């Protein structure tokens, strides 16, 4: 559902905003690079999950359906 997607995205962003403050004492200036890599990975997983959740939003399903419909009509006219 859309509300779940929004909730997880906001939670991930909130985590990523707070992460540098938690790591600064341990890593110092290396925090910038570590947080960038972690953000890249986590946001990539989030985007992949969104794509898997809504496959027909990114697939051109309408043209495929039109081709199948036209092919079925041709078959019915020819063999029917």
- 34: its two tokens: 């570590």
Angle at 58 between CA 60 and CA 38, to 5 degrees: 160
Rounded Cα gap, residues 53 and 45, in angstroms = 12
State the residue for tokens 């540098």. 20
Taking the mean position of all CA atoms in its chain, how far away is CA 51? 4
Provide the token pair at 78. Answer: 């020819």
Predicted confidence pLDDT, tens digits, the chain (80 residues):
677 788 888 999 999 999 999 999 999 999 999 999 999 999 999 888 887 877 666 677 888 899 999 999 999 999 87
């Amino acid at each position: 559902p859309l509300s779940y997607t929004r909730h997880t995205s906001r939670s991930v962003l909130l985590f990523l905003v707070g992460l540098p403050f938690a790591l600064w004492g341990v890593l110092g200036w290396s925090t910038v690079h570590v947080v960038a890599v972690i953000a890249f990975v986590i946001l990539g997983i989030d985007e992949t999950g969104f794509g898997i959740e809504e496959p027909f939003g990114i697939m051109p399903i309408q043209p495929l359906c039109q081709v199948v419909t036209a092919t079925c009509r041709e078959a019915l006219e020819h063999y029917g």
